[in-house]
Amino acid sequence: MNGLDFQIEPIVDLALAEDLGQSDITTKALIPDEQQGVGSIVVKGKGILAGVQIAKKVFLRVDPCLKVDIYFQDGAELESGTIIAKVEGKAASILKAERVALNFLQRLSGIASETNRYVKAAKGLPVQIMDTRKTAPGLRLLEKYAVKIGGGENHRMNLGDGILVKDNHLAALRSRGLSMKEIITRVKQNSPRRFKIEVEAKSVEEAREAVDGGADIVMLDNMSLDEMRQAVKAIDGRALIEASGGITLDRVRAIAETGVDFISVGALTHSVKALDLSLELVGPE
């Protein structure tokens, strides 16, 4: 997370603004300003921790005088009952920051945990689990960070940091009469040469055409295991191979065994299951 503060502050402030509204009217009515407390962030499920520095930022943004002690760093494997961190200071400040801090932490830990399940499922095989651009609007940087924490690798951050010729590109150009080879030649000529060229293929035949046409990476889209095996054979080491589309935890090992280099999983970020965490406040200990 180092060096990203200036990029994370706006989303932290946005999240606090939308959660505090006018300010916490319940807490203002009940908790005397001088009352101190200690809040413990406790795990109620099982998973990989991600986002603990952001949670800390949230508490300090609400009240710079809070003291946040972190017991586990991002990447730690958490068991139910574990205390991740303690926050000490004004009870009212802790209560105001609680929900936003947990919302970041639960979502990011959920992503890291799910990524890690895929990574473990493919353990021992020479394959990388990758994310996609199917992230919650505004949270891409953080969500891709959580994928890395979970042991995955990042696919494109945005449309500008990688070349990927997708089915819609192919369709648009074939309708003008271009062949796969001509399409790949065109993209090579018109784009910065520091990028490898990745091309999406919907069939074994298309995968072969892509690699023959000069693709550096071929994405096998929504193929059966059998098709993937044939595609791997057809490509025969001449390009890197990514499997994509309809990947589930059940199938991931079998897919990895076909010999592909990457498996990209939209669900890592588009269908997150939050890790269950809560904050428990006690009076000063």
99 is catalytic: yes
**Phi, psi of 193, deg, nearest 5:** -80, 0
Site for a second copy in 242-271 (CB under 8 A): 261-262, 266-267, 270-271
Instruction: Tell me how many degrees the CA angle 90-139-219 measures, rounded to the nearest 5.
Output: 150
Identify the CA nearest to 144 among candidates 21, 12, 266: 266
- Do 197 and 188 form a contact (C-beta atoms < 8 A)? yes
In angstroms, the CA 264 to CA 167 distance is 16
166 is catalytic: yes
Among 23, 34, 237, 250, binds a second copy (CB under 8 A): 23
* Position 111 contacts a second copy (CB under 8 A): no
Binding mask 34-53 for a second copy (x = CB under 8 A): -x-x-x--------------
- Do 59 and 281 form a contact (C-beta atoms < 8 A)? no
* Position 237 contacts a second copy (CB under 8 A): no
Site for a second copy in 122-151 (CB under 8 A): 128, 133-141, 144
Q: Is 224 exposed, middle or buried, given 0-12, 13-18 or 19+ CB atoms closer than 10 A?
A: exposed
* Position 177 contacts a second copy (CB under 8 A): no
* Position 169 contacts a second copy (CB under 8 A): yes
In angstroms, the CA 206 to CA 119 distance is 28
Amino acid, single-letter form, for residue 217: I
Q: Which two tokens stand for residue 4?
A: 């990203």
* Position 67 contacts a second copy (CB under 8 A): no
Site for a second copy in 85-104 (CB under 8 A): 90-93, 95-100, 102-104
Give the shortest CB-3-to-a second copy separation in angstroms. Answer: 5
* Position 18 contacts a second copy (CB under 8 A): yes
Catalytic residue among 74, 143, 200, 206: 200
200 is catalytic: yes
Catalytic residue among 46, 123, 166, 233: 166
Q: How many CA atoms are closer than 13 Å to the CA of 104, on its beta-carbon side?
A: 30
Active-site residue list: 99, 134, 166, 200, 221
